[in-house]
Structure 1
Amino acid sequence: MGEIGVRYTGGCLCGAVRYEAEGKPLFTGCCYCADCRKASGSGFIPFMGFASSAVRFSGETRQFRSKSFKGGDAVRNFCPVCGGLVFGGEVGKDDSHTIYAGSLDDPSSFHPEVAIFNRARPAWVALPPDLPAFDTMPD
Protein backbone atom coordinates (compact mmCIF):
# COMPACT_ATOMS: atom_id res chain seq x y z
CA MET A 1 0.00 0.00 0.00
CA GLY A 2 1.11 3.67 0.11
CA GLU A 3 3.31 5.95 2.16
CA ILE A 4 4.14 4.45 5.57
CA GLY A 5 2.49 6.11 8.55
CA VAL A 6 -0.38 7.87 6.79
CA ARG A 7 -3.62 5.92 7.12
CA TYR A 8 -7.25 6.84 6.67
CA THR A 9 -10.13 4.68 7.90
CA GLY A 10 -13.86 5.06 7.61
CA GLY A 11 -17.12 3.55 6.54
CA CYS A 12 -20.86 3.88 6.41
CA LEU A 13 -23.22 4.98 9.17
CA CYS A 14 -23.93 1.47 10.49
CA GLY A 15 -20.40 0.07 10.01
CA ALA A 16 -21.31 -2.70 7.54
CA VAL A 17 -19.03 -1.13 4.88
CA ARG A 18 -15.50 -0.18 5.92
CA TYR A 19 -12.28 0.92 4.23
CA GLU A 20 -8.65 1.60 4.99
CA ALA A 21 -6.49 3.80 2.75
CA GLU A 22 -2.74 4.25 3.13
CA GLY A 23 -0.54 7.04 1.89
CA LYS A 24 -1.13 10.61 0.89
CA PRO A 25 -4.24 11.08 -1.28
CA LEU A 26 -3.63 11.69 -4.98
CA PHE A 27 -6.09 14.59 -4.81
CA THR A 28 -8.61 16.11 -2.43
CA GLY A 29 -11.42 18.57 -2.95
CA CYS A 30 -15.07 19.46 -2.91
CA CYS A 31 -17.43 18.82 -5.82
CA TYR A 32 -20.46 21.05 -6.25
CA CYS A 33 -21.97 19.36 -9.34
CA ALA A 34 -25.69 18.59 -9.30
CA ASP A 35 -25.11 14.81 -9.17
CA CYS A 36 -22.84 15.05 -6.11
CA ARG A 37 -25.25 17.42 -4.38
CA LYS A 38 -28.17 15.05 -4.99
CA ALA A 39 -26.15 11.93 -4.00
CA SER A 40 -25.00 13.53 -0.75
CA GLY A 41 -28.18 15.38 0.15
CA SER A 42 -25.95 18.40 0.78
CA GLY A 43 -24.38 21.32 -1.06
CA PHE A 44 -21.34 19.31 -2.14
CA ILE A 45 -19.32 16.12 -1.69
CA PRO A 46 -15.87 16.33 -0.11
CA PHE A 47 -13.64 13.73 -1.78
CA MET A 48 -10.18 12.13 -1.58
CA GLY A 49 -8.66 10.14 -4.43
CA PHE A 50 -6.45 7.08 -3.92
CA ALA A 51 -4.86 4.50 -6.20
CA SER A 52 -6.84 1.27 -5.98
CA SER A 53 -3.72 -0.46 -4.63
CA ALA A 54 -3.77 1.90 -1.63
CA VAL A 55 -7.33 1.11 -0.49
CA ARG A 56 -8.93 -1.98 1.06
CA PHE A 57 -12.69 -2.32 1.36
CA SER A 58 -14.81 -4.70 3.43
CA GLY A 59 -18.52 -5.32 3.39
CA GLU A 60 -20.94 -5.51 0.51
CA THR A 61 -22.11 -2.40 -1.29
CA ARG A 62 -24.80 -1.44 -3.73
CA GLN A 63 -23.93 0.79 -6.64
CA PHE A 64 -25.56 3.64 -8.44
CA ARG A 65 -24.30 4.60 -11.90
CA SER A 66 -24.78 7.88 -13.71
CA LYS A 67 -23.02 9.58 -16.61
CA SER A 68 -19.89 11.47 -15.62
CA PHE A 69 -18.80 14.86 -16.96
CA LYS A 70 -16.37 13.07 -19.31
CA GLY A 71 -19.12 10.77 -20.65
CA GLY A 72 -18.23 7.53 -18.86
CA ASP A 73 -19.95 6.03 -15.85
CA ALA A 74 -19.69 7.57 -12.40
CA VAL A 75 -20.06 4.69 -9.93
CA ARG A 76 -21.11 5.51 -6.37
CA ASN A 77 -21.01 2.79 -3.70
CA PHE A 78 -23.33 2.89 -0.72
CA CYS A 79 -24.28 0.58 2.12
CA PRO A 80 -27.38 -1.55 1.41
CA VAL A 81 -28.21 -1.56 5.13
CA CYS A 82 -28.06 2.13 6.13
CA GLY A 83 -27.77 3.80 2.71
CA GLY A 84 -24.56 5.64 3.65
CA LEU A 85 -22.55 6.85 0.63
CA VAL A 86 -18.95 5.66 1.06
CA PHE A 87 -16.81 5.64 -2.09
CA GLY A 88 -16.68 5.96 -5.86
CA GLY A 89 -15.34 3.54 -8.43
CA GLU A 90 -15.67 -0.14 -9.18
CA VAL A 91 -13.55 -2.46 -7.01
CA GLY A 92 -11.41 -4.80 -9.07
CA LYS A 93 -11.91 -2.74 -12.22
CA ASP A 94 -10.84 0.88 -11.66
CA ASP A 95 -7.28 2.12 -11.13
CA SER A 96 -8.37 4.58 -8.46
CA HIS A 97 -11.16 5.19 -5.98
CA THR A 98 -12.75 8.29 -4.56
CA ILE A 99 -13.37 8.17 -0.83
CA TYR A 100 -16.16 10.48 0.32
CA ALA A 101 -14.59 12.43 3.17
CA GLY A 102 -17.83 12.52 5.14
CA SER A 103 -17.32 8.80 5.75
CA LEU A 104 -13.92 9.24 7.46
CA ASP A 105 -13.56 8.10 11.06
CA ASP A 106 -11.49 11.25 11.65
CA PRO A 107 -13.00 14.02 9.52
CA SER A 108 -10.30 16.45 10.68
CA SER A 109 -7.83 14.55 8.46
CA PHE A 110 -9.54 15.92 5.33
CA HIS A 111 -7.95 19.00 3.76
CA PRO A 112 -9.46 20.09 0.42
CA GLU A 113 -7.05 21.34 -2.24
CA VAL A 114 -9.56 22.29 -4.95
CA ALA A 115 -13.23 23.06 -5.56
CA ILE A 116 -14.72 21.65 -8.77
CA PHE A 117 -17.95 22.46 -10.59
CA ASN A 118 -18.04 25.72 -8.69
CA ARG A 119 -20.46 27.11 -11.28
CA ALA A 120 -23.13 24.87 -9.72
CA ARG A 121 -22.29 25.73 -6.09
CA PRO A 122 -25.38 26.90 -4.20
CA ALA A 123 -25.09 30.49 -2.98
CA TRP A 124 -25.54 29.30 0.62
CA VAL A 125 -22.35 27.18 0.50
CA ALA A 126 -19.25 29.18 1.42
CA LEU A 127 -15.91 28.25 -0.13
CA PRO A 128 -13.02 27.72 2.26
CA PRO A 129 -10.62 30.71 2.13
CA ASP A 130 -7.97 30.55 -0.62
CA LEU A 131 -9.34 27.28 -2.08
CA PRO A 132 -8.73 27.23 -5.87
CA ALA A 133 -12.11 26.94 -7.60
CA PHE A 134 -12.89 25.75 -11.13
CA ASP A 135 -16.18 26.11 -13.01
CA THR A 136 -15.94 22.48 -14.16
CA MET A 137 -13.03 19.98 -13.99
CA PRO A 138 -9.51 21.40 -14.02
CA ASP A 139 -7.18 20.25 -16.80
Structure 2
Amino acid sequence: MDKPFTGGCACGAIRYSIAGEPLFSNHCQCRDCQRESGSGHGSYATFARAGVTLTGDAKHWDMVADNGNVKTRGFCIQCGVAVYLTFAAQPDVFTIRAASLDEPTRYQPQAVTFAARGHDWDRLDPSLLKFDGMPPG
Protein backbone atom coordinates (compact mmCIF):
# COMPACT_ATOMS: atom_id res chain seq x y z
CA MET A 1 0.00 0.00 0.00
CA ASP A 2 1.27 3.47 -0.87
CA LYS A 3 2.02 5.92 1.90
CA PRO A 4 -0.93 8.28 2.48
CA PHE A 5 -0.62 12.03 2.07
CA THR A 6 -1.09 13.59 5.50
CA GLY A 7 -1.30 17.13 6.74
CA GLY A 8 -3.41 19.79 8.35
CA CYS A 9 -3.45 23.28 9.76
CA ALA A 10 -0.66 24.96 11.75
CA CYS A 11 -2.13 24.23 15.18
CA GLY A 12 -3.18 20.64 14.41
CA ALA A 13 -6.91 21.13 14.99
CA ILE A 14 -7.64 20.01 11.40
CA ARG A 15 -5.95 16.88 10.07
CA TYR A 16 -6.31 14.84 6.91
CA SER A 17 -5.02 11.56 5.54
CA ILE A 18 -5.44 10.81 1.86
CA ALA A 19 -4.99 7.44 0.19
CA GLY A 20 -3.92 7.49 -3.44
CA GLU A 21 -1.97 9.84 -5.64
CA PRO A 22 -3.06 13.34 -6.68
CA LEU A 23 -5.27 13.55 -9.75
CA PHE A 24 -3.83 16.99 -10.53
CA SER A 25 -1.33 19.34 -8.87
CA ASN A 26 -1.08 22.98 -9.80
CA HIS A 27 -0.09 26.50 -8.98
CA CYS A 28 -3.12 28.74 -9.53
CA GLN A 29 -2.63 32.41 -10.33
CA CYS A 30 -6.29 33.46 -10.34
CA ARG A 31 -7.12 36.57 -8.31
CA ASP A 32 -9.05 34.54 -5.72
CA CYS A 33 -5.99 32.40 -4.99
CA GLN A 34 -3.72 35.44 -4.98
CA ARG A 35 -5.90 37.20 -2.42
CA GLU A 36 -6.44 34.14 -0.28
CA SER A 37 -2.76 33.16 -0.22
CA GLY A 38 -1.42 36.69 0.18
CA SER A 39 0.99 35.88 -2.64
CA GLY A 40 1.04 35.59 -6.41
CA HIS A 41 -0.52 32.13 -6.49
CA GLY A 42 -1.87 29.21 -4.50
CA SER A 43 -0.37 25.72 -4.73
CA TYR A 44 -2.76 22.76 -4.65
CA ALA A 45 -3.04 19.00 -5.00
CA THR A 46 -6.39 17.47 -5.93
CA PHE A 47 -7.36 13.93 -4.92
CA ALA A 48 -10.32 11.58 -5.28
CA ARG A 49 -12.68 12.38 -2.39
CA ALA A 50 -13.18 8.68 -1.65
CA GLY A 51 -9.63 8.41 -0.27
CA VAL A 52 -9.90 11.30 2.20
CA THR A 53 -10.19 11.06 5.97
CA LEU A 54 -10.70 14.49 7.55
CA THR A 55 -10.84 15.32 11.26
CA GLY A 56 -11.40 18.59 13.11
CA ASP A 57 -13.79 21.47 12.74
CA ALA A 58 -13.25 23.77 9.80
CA LYS A 59 -14.92 27.06 9.05
CA HIS A 60 -16.13 27.22 5.45
CA TRP A 61 -16.14 30.13 3.08
CA ASP A 62 -17.96 29.90 -0.25
CA MET A 63 -16.93 31.92 -3.25
CA VAL A 64 -18.11 31.93 -6.85
CA ALA A 65 -15.49 31.19 -9.49
CA ASP A 66 -15.31 32.97 -12.84
CA ASN A 67 -17.28 30.13 -14.42
CA GLY A 68 -20.10 30.53 -11.88
CA ASN A 69 -19.28 27.37 -9.91
CA VAL A 70 -19.08 27.53 -6.12
CA LYS A 71 -15.79 26.65 -4.49
CA THR A 72 -15.68 26.21 -0.73
CA ARG A 73 -12.50 26.89 1.20
CA GLY A 74 -12.01 25.14 4.53
CA PHE A 75 -9.87 26.82 7.15
CA CYS A 76 -9.10 26.34 10.83
CA ILE A 77 -11.18 28.30 13.32
CA GLN A 78 -8.26 28.24 15.79
CA CYS A 79 -5.20 29.29 13.76
CA GLY A 80 -6.91 30.62 10.60
CA VAL A 81 -4.87 28.52 8.18
CA ALA A 82 -6.58 27.59 4.92
CA VAL A 83 -6.28 23.82 4.46
CA TYR A 84 -8.57 22.56 1.70
CA LEU A 85 -11.10 23.31 -1.04
CA THR A 86 -14.15 21.52 -2.33
CA PHE A 87 -16.16 22.28 -5.44
CA ALA A 88 -19.95 22.05 -5.77
CA ALA A 89 -19.61 21.06 -9.44
CA GLN A 90 -17.06 18.33 -8.61
CA PRO A 91 -18.17 16.62 -5.38
CA ASP A 92 -15.90 13.63 -6.02
CA VAL A 93 -12.66 15.62 -5.59
CA PHE A 94 -10.91 17.13 -2.57
CA THR A 95 -8.14 19.71 -2.95
CA ILE A 96 -5.51 20.49 -0.35
CA ARG A 97 -3.11 23.39 -0.09
CA ALA A 98 0.38 22.07 -0.74
CA ALA A 99 1.83 23.94 2.24
CA SER A 100 -0.53 22.04 4.56
CA LEU A 101 1.23 18.73 3.81
CA ASP A 102 3.30 17.15 6.57
CA GLU A 103 5.84 16.41 3.85
CA PRO A 104 5.62 19.33 1.40
CA THR A 105 8.39 17.82 -0.71
CA ARG A 106 5.85 15.23 -1.91
CA TYR A 107 4.05 18.01 -3.80
CA GLN A 108 4.97 17.89 -7.49
CA PRO A 109 3.20 20.61 -9.51
CA GLN A 110 2.17 19.68 -13.03
CA ALA A 111 0.89 22.99 -14.34
CA VAL A 112 0.17 26.65 -13.77
CA THR A 113 -3.50 27.58 -14.10
CA PHE A 114 -4.81 31.08 -14.74
CA ALA A 115 -1.31 32.03 -15.90
CA ALA A 116 -2.87 34.96 -17.78
CA ARG A 117 -3.45 36.59 -14.38
CA GLY A 118 0.08 36.00 -13.11
CA HIS A 119 2.40 38.84 -12.13
CA ASP A 120 5.95 39.35 -13.37
CA TRP A 121 7.20 39.22 -9.78
CA ASP A 122 5.66 35.76 -9.21
CA ARG A 123 8.14 33.63 -11.15
CA LEU A 124 7.16 29.98 -11.30
CA ASP A 125 8.99 27.04 -12.86
CA PRO A 126 9.12 27.88 -16.60
CA SER A 127 9.07 24.18 -17.53
CA LEU A 128 5.51 23.70 -16.17
CA LEU A 129 2.56 23.58 -18.55
CA LYS A 130 0.74 26.90 -18.50
CA PHE A 131 -2.97 27.48 -19.05
CA ASP A 132 -4.59 30.92 -19.32
CA GLY A 133 -7.54 29.51 -17.33
CA MET A 134 -8.34 26.00 -16.19
CA PRO A 135 -7.23 23.20 -18.52
CA PRO A 136 -9.92 21.40 -20.47
CA GLY A 137 -11.70 18.57 -18.58
Q: Please report the TM-score for the alignment, with normalisation by the length of structure 1.
A: 0.92
Shift of 1:17: 0.4
* Inter-partner Cα distance in structure 1 for 2:101 and 2:73: 16
* Inter-partner Cα distance in structure 1 for 2:78 and 2:30: 26
The match for 2:67 among 46, 66, 70 is: 70
* Inter-partner Cα distance in structure 2 for 1:72 and 1:47: 18
Task: Report the identity percentage.
Answer: 37
* Inter-partner Cα distance in structure 2 for 1:42 and 1:13: 18
| Higher strand content, 1 or 2 | 2
**Aligned-residue CA RMSD (Å):** 1.3
- Look up the match of 2:54: 57
Shift of 1:94: 2.0
Q: Are 1:8 and 2:5 matched, yes or no?
A: yes
* Superposition pairs of residues 113-128 of structure 1, within 5 angstroms: 113-128=110-125
Moved over 2 A (4+): none
* Inter-partner Cα distance in structure 2 for 1:72 and 1:135: 18
- Look up the match of 2:91: 94
Which amino acid counterpart does residue 67 of structure 2 have in structure 1? Answer: K
Structure 2 gap ranges (5+): none
Shift of 1:28: 0.5
- Look up the match of 1:46: 43
> How many corresponding residue pairs?
134
Q: Are 1:85 and 2:85 matched, yes or no?
A: no
Q: Are 1:25 and 2:22 matched, yes or no?
A: yes
